[in-house]
Structure 1
Amino acid sequence: MLRGLAVDAAGAADAVEAPAGAPPGPAGALPGPAEAPVGAPSCRAEEATLAALLRCCVREVAGPRGLVWPAPPYLLLRVAGTLLRARACGGAALRFEGRPERLESGTWRPLTSDDLVVLVETELRGHNREFAGQVAASRRAVAAILAARATQEPPADPWLASEQALVYGHPFHPSPKARGGGDWLRYAPEAHAEFPVRLLGVREDVLDEGGDPGALDAMGKAPDGYRVLPAHPWQLDLLRPAFGPELIDLGPGPAVTPTSSVRTVYAPDAGVCLKFSLDVRITNCVRKNAWYELAGAVELTRRLAPLFDLTAARHPGTRWLPEPGYRSAGLGVRLREGLGVIVRRSPWAVCSPGVTPVLAAALALDAPVTDPLAWWRAYVTVVAPPVLELYFTHGVVLEPHLQNVLVGLDSVGTPVQAVFRDLEGAKLVAGRHDLSGVPPEVAGALTYDAGRGWARVVYCLLVNHLTEIAATVAGTDDELLRELWRIARDVLARQADELGRPLPLSDLLAGAPLPAKANLGVRWARAADRAAGYVPIANPLA
């Protein structure tokens, strides 16, 4: 847990005295990700940017240094020697209420995101000339998204509407909406974008494909001797490929709708999702399909199919989205990766009749709850046990974070199914699978050692996912939040018993600290996302 901050099972902190002379907090509220700020787009963007960066400071800057402590109704922290305070609820999810403030010459004054950027830069030292610009770019992007949403209608499809609901992005990232690459707004899911793909023709002798990408052939017609290759128009603008006899431009294709990851779209005419390469940094990563990831998606689909069948036999609400094939142009690594597209099954194709898939991240904004305890028990039951079953029984690491899980709701809004997706993040535990015959580069990208895999499972499932859903269900009711975590512990303990009480899961239930991904740290270091470390936070299951 964070040193200097005593937290109980729901994240409520033990009381200490507020600084002498501290005035009462201001009226109004600074919402967390569960509630949209009210006001002009620029003001709402500033509030959201400040909240996200302040969460990062609590988790990664002040917390590990023992410089976070409670002074009800406030949470206090010190960054670069400056005392800050904010009203907080939601346990580890850190939902802020009211305007955060800084103590200046004995007086509490409103804190701005620019103020906090300066404090972070002073605290972390070193040199990162990009950091302030990334935070500012993210703030401008949120304002642009809010303005665009005011003039657009969301999709009628409830699943797609949920995919396009994530206006503010990752709640624990310093620049969750910073994007490069020109006219990005026309392709932004949060702005309710829809656009036609571009169709390319790849001459068959230079075609690079694996598995079964046949769904792509339904998207258009290519001349004899060529195969259809859909391309993201934004990526084509970035790549500017040379067209000629081997690669031809067939013009606009069917309309598609971008999902939450930006680069993955839903193609309703083909009935599939398409995961494109996109040479743009979104949160921590440049979103390009490396050549070994193209092949790895097909390999994992083949290997995971029987394991998901076994898991679904024990947990009937379990679903997943296979990635049966990919297609690209074998014209050098740059175009092979840059034009590579992975075919992914649609969630509507795997959910049972009468079940509506909804993105978990959208439920973290607004959960349709009438009976919070029953709803939460159903939610944890469909989401968590399959993840643990796959890890401990089958040696499979899923990344069940909020954007990788769709929750199937029945006609009254009760969670009855969980759909897991995105095989780029799924891995096999090293030593538990025979990868002989798989190219070394592909095999290396498919595996994690057991410790790294477990940390990823715990972070994605508990810290990124269940913590946020619980905070939304509980709102400001601390006792309800504690009861939600008692229910979660009961569900996980039953699964632990069925699995024979494996030691890592027993440690988790005993209160071992949770690993929280250090997004601020990896952005400050300008490192690849795979280099991101973890910081320990309090375990609400304890």
Structure 2
Amino acid sequence: MHRSPTAEAEIADELAHVRSGLLPRYEAELPGARAAVLSRLWRGLAHDPLPWVVRREPGGEGLTLCLADGRRLHGPRPDPYATGAYVTVVRLGGADYDDPARLVTDLAVPHSASFAAEVGHSVASLALSRAAQEGHRPDEWPESDWAWEQRIVDGHPFHPTCRSRPGFSVAEQFAYGPEHRPVVELGLVPARAEECLVTGAWPRELRDGERVVLPVHPWQAEHVLKRTCEQRLSAHPLMSLRTLALPGGPHVKTSLSARLTSSVRDISLASVAASAVLSDFAEVPASRSDGLLHMTRTLGAAAAGSPDLAVVLRESPQSYAASGERVLPVAALATTALPRSPGWLADFARLALTVGLRLLELGVALEAHGQNLLVVLSPAGDPLRLVYRDLADIRVSPARLARHGITVPDLPSRMVTDDERTLRRKLFGSLVAGALAGTAGSGAALAQALEAAVPDLPPGPDLAALRADPLPTKALTLMRFSPRAGGDQWAELPSPLA
């Protein structure tokens, strides 16, 4: 077996100085973390349109990739909808690999070195995250919104860099990573109002006379803004790390100029400018969902001249829970026993597809992955309604909206399209290949849930496309092998409804 000790050893060395008692557990978690990341990587290698994979040859229980340089890469037959660590070793040439970072290095294709560093960091940080867990039972039901989000330890269920946090030391991962359950002290940075872009109703408690006070993530303050903050505000980090919950108050989305999974998490000035208009617009299609969907409102947004110092204040999804109900991100469902029931999973798929297809028909394609999409559960755990947050990546079709008498406001041009393929990719790639697949945990479970749910959905061209076409998904591995290519890139997965 090949090993890539760099990231793993660096984390171990830091951990020995920060929390030495955790070192044995960290080392014990490394094999499982390698397998978890290797499983995600193998999914991408097996399905993404990588230019140096010239042919894929299924055979028996495995799959062989024929590479442009004549080498052959062999692994198990992939389940593109499986979560967890089902791939423990693949074979490249004459060597076995259980370390995904070493495999990426030895593929020796363009951008291998940079991607291998991200993958190695993903393995090491995932082992660190798992080692620090005290555990929870699937029948435990947290009371706070942040406690649900902090149960999600492994990050993105299908991304090879699911836990990569380059630029974060071990101490900073413990201090800011939601799975470590810290309380984060946001800095408060005052700026003159005339130097700020402010939209929505900026709260009075975040004003100081003529100055606007912006919450800033402490990592951003130290590493990017290079400043200290005298005033602070206690908050709990949510699963995106840069968004935090104020106890009893709104969620605060901060700029964080670090690459987490695929993207640098800043907040563009265009997003700040459009936030209020977009929030008001989103309430219109939501109002036509027969009460099955709520959109969290953007309360205010501000930027002090740069995406490096910008913030969005958003309504907590808990606002939409009645007495006894709970609201949790779809990604957290896998930490409960609920998806293990085929009937429950079918009910949830039926609800999610009804809402997603209805909004798509109206002209709004949601980025409904497991982080943006939340579910309202009854006291008995039944899926009742959905809540959607973070409107920055939706797509809007003027032609479809016009058919339903809805006018498109002045939105950023990247959000507006009438291209049906783009609209369907946005919804199906995030909802079916993302949220539903991640909840189901396997292709067989996903197919069973969809087969039970789809006959109850209203017919239409979008549903027909979902049933007939391959399922689109973001080509997450290809995107990291081609970091200079702008925008999303896509792969096609075998349809679970085939």
Query: TM-score scaled to structure 1, two decimals?
Result: 0.76
Structure 2 equivalent of residue 234 of structure 1: 219
Matched, 1:495 2:458: yes
Deviation track 1:134-193 (CA, whole Å, cap 9, x = no partner) reads 111111211222233359999953532331233222233232222233444121112222
Structure 2 equivalent of residue 31 of structure 1: none
Structure 2 equivalent of residue 522 of structure 1: 479
Give 1:405 deviation, angstroms: 0.8
Give 1:95 deviation, angstroms: 5.5
Give 1:255 deviation, angstroms: 1.2
Does the aligned pair in 2 maintain the 1:86–1:99 contact within 8 Å? Answer: no
Does the aligned pair in 2 maintain the 1:87–1:96 contact within 8 Å? Answer: no
Identity %: 25
Matched, 1:297 2:275: yes
Matched, 1:41 2:29: yes
SS in structure 2 at match of 1:279: strand
CA distance in 2: counterparts of 1:516 and 1:376, whole angstroms: 21
Aligned pair count reads 460
Does the aligned pair in 2 maintain the 1:458–1:515 contact within 8 Å? Answer: yes
CA distance in 2: counterparts of 1:342 and 1:54, whole angstroms: 36
Could you say if the C-alpha distance between residues 436 and 389 of structure 1 is closer, same or farther in structure 2, counting changes exceeding 3 Å? closer
Counterpart pick for 2:390 among 418, 422, 437: 422
SS in structure 2 at match of 1:352: coil
SS in structure 2 at match of 1:92: coil
Which runs of structure 2 are paired with 1:384-403 in the superposition (5 Å)?
A: 384-393=353-362, 395-403=363-371
Deviation track 1:19-78 (CA, whole Å, cap 9, x = no partner) reads xxxxxxxxxxxxxxxxxx99812223222222221221122268975525252xx33333
SS in structure 1 at match of 2:392: coil
CA distance in 1: counterparts of 2:388 and 2:247, whole angstroms: 20
Give 1:279 deviation, angstroms: 0.7
Counterpart pick for 1:59 among 47, 55, 59: 47
Give 1:344 deviation, angstroms: 0.7
CA distance in 2: counterparts of 1:445 and 1:126, whole angstroms: 29
Counterpart pick for 1:137 among 111, 121, 141: 121
Which amino acid counterpart does residue 230 of structure 2 have in structure 1?
A: G
Which amino acid counterpart does residue 288 of structure 2 have in structure 1?
A: L
Could you say if the C-alpha distance between residues 381 and 483 of structure 1 is closer, same or farther in structure 2, counting changes exceeding 3 Å? closer
Deviation track 1:229-271 (CA, whole Å, cap 9, x = no partner) reads 22211111133267xxxxxx762323111111111111114x1
Does the aligned pair in 2 maintain the 1:149–1:192 contact within 8 Å? Answer: no
Structure 2 equivalent of residue 164 of structure 1: 150
Which runs of structure 2 are paired with 1:400-411 in the superposition (5 Å)?
A: 400-411=368-379
Q: Which structure would you say has the larger Rg?
A: 1
Q: What is the CA RMSD across the aligned residues, in angstroms?
A: 3.2
Does the aligned pair in 2 maintain the 1:319–1:351 contact within 8 Å? Answer: no
**Range moving further from structure 2, 55-64 or 198-207:** 55-64
Structure 1 equivalent of residue 489 of structure 2: 533
Does the aligned pair in 2 maintain the 1:263–1:275 contact within 8 Å? Answer: yes
CA distance in 1: counterparts of 2:408 and 2:141, whole angstroms: 45
Matched, 1:318 2:274: no
SS in structure 1 at match of 2:491: strand
Deviation track 1:466-512 (CA, whole Å, cap 9, x = no partner) reads 2222236x8xxx4x654323113223xx222xxxx23x432322x21
Deviation track 1:98-140 (CA, whole Å, cap 9, x = no partner) reads 73343876xx956332442245x34xx3344312111111112
Structure 2 equivalent of residue 176 of structure 1: 162
Does the aligned pair in 1 maintain the 2:178–2:239 contact within 8 Å? Answer: yes
CA distance in 1: counterparts of 2:45 and 2:310, whole angstroms: 38
CA distance in 2: counterparts of 1:199 and 1:356, whole angstroms: 31
Counterpart pick for 2:463 among 505, 508, 531: 505
Structure 2 equivalent of residue 262 of structure 1: 241
Which runs of structure 2 are paired with 1:60-209 in the superposition (5 Å)?
A: 60=48, 65-71=54-60, 74-78=61-65, 80=67, 81-86=71-76, 92-93=81-82, 97=86, 99-102=88-91, 111-119=98-106, 121-122=107-108, 125-150=109-134, 156-157=142-143, 159-183=145-169, 184-185=172-173, 186-209=175-198
SS in structure 2 at match of 1:200: strand
CA distance in 2: counterparts of 1:234 and 1:490, whole angstroms: 49
Q: Which runs of 5+ in 1 are unaligned?
A: 1-36, 243-248
CA distance in 1: counterparts of 2:226 and 2:26, whole angstroms: 44
CA distance in 1: counterparts of 2:267 and 2:189, whole angstroms: 18
**Range moving further from structure 2, 446-455 or 342-351:** 446-455
CA distance in 1: counterparts of 2:197 and 2:49, whole angstroms: 46
